[in-house]
Amino acid sequence: MKVRPLSIDGAWELSPVLHGDARGVFTEAFKADVLAETIGHRFDLAQVNLSVSAAGVLRGVHFADVPPGQAKYVTCAAGAILDVIVDIRVGSPTFGAHDTVLLDDVDRRAVYLSEGLGHAFCALADDSAVTYLCSTGYNPGAEHGIDPMDPQLAIDWPTLAREGTRLDYELSAKDTAAPGLFEARDAGLLPRYDAVIAYLRG
């Protein structure tokens, strides 16, 4: 498995080796030892989520309070998505910046994002199936969102689906009503960079 650090500290792209023949493809989609060596500690799996989305569905930007936060290992088993990691840690050198990775059923890459980072994606094909391995379980009182269309984030969302048709974005009511980055910061919703680093080191 090949590992590439992203431009946001605490996020990586992981590319597995694909073994294909006339029967299909086999790959090791998750390797605990590789991930632990990459992130510097064991990844404790608490919950596995699966979402299936039509082309144009946009989910996020989602994040959880730290501690404990929620680290995620994200893959796309069917279809394709543009996965987006956002640095929402107040005080971080890259606060407000983001990085993107194409996750699909061809290269079968994954992304890992550590606690304190924001996550979003846009489905590029119908029936795109996304799996999230999560370090903590669902805790609605500690989970929040930021408007993915906030101009302060300046995310260049794709306009075309994988087959070349134009995308019509569809967001949940909760994501549509989410505050912008600076609004969330001023409301005290965002994790602090120093607190996240201290938590991870502990």
Residues 118-159 have pLDDT tens digits of: 999 999 999 999 999 999 999 999 999 999 999 999 999 999
Is it true that domain 2-138+166-201 has CATH number 3.30.70.360?
no
pLDDT at 155: 98
Q: Are 8 and 85 in contact (CB under 8 A)?
A: yes
- Report, as residue numbers or ranges, the catalytic residues: 62, 132
Buried b (16+ CB within 10 A) or exposed e, 121-155: bbbbbbebbbbebbbbeeeeeeebbbbbbbeebeb
Tell me: the pLDDT tens digits for 180-193? Answer: 999 999 999 999 99
The model's pLDDT over 53-72, given as tens digits with 9 standing for 90+, comes to 999 999 999 999 999 999 99
Q: Is the pTM of this model over 0.75?
A: yes
CA torsion sign, 9 to 102 to 40 to 51? positive
Average pLDDT over residues 26-31: 96
DSSP symbols for the chain = -EEEE-SSTTEEEEEPPEEEETTEEEE----HHHHHHHHSS-----EEEEEEE-TTBEEEEEEE-TTT---EEEEEEESEEEEEEEE--BT-TTTT-EEEEEEETTT--EEEE-TTEEEEEEE-STTEEEEEEESS---GGGEEE--TT-TTT------B-TTSPBP--B--HHHHTPPPHHHHHHTT-SPBHHHHHHHHH-
Q: State the chain's mean pLDDT as an integer.
A: 97
In the chain, the amino acid numbered 50 is: L
Task: Give the pLDDT of residue 202.
Answer: 81
| Half-sphere exposure (Cβ direction) of 137: Cα atoms closer than 13 Å | 1
For the chain, how many residues are written?
Answer: 202
Average pLDDT over residues 68-78: 97
* Extents of the domains making up the chain: 2-138+166-201
Q: Please state the three-class secondary structure of 47-59 as a single string.
A: EEEEEEECCCEEE
pLDDT tens sequence across 85-110: 999 999 999 999 999 999 999 999 99
Give residue 124's pLDDT: 98
Does 176 score more than 90 pLDDT? yes
Pairing of β 47-53 and β 24-27 = unpaired
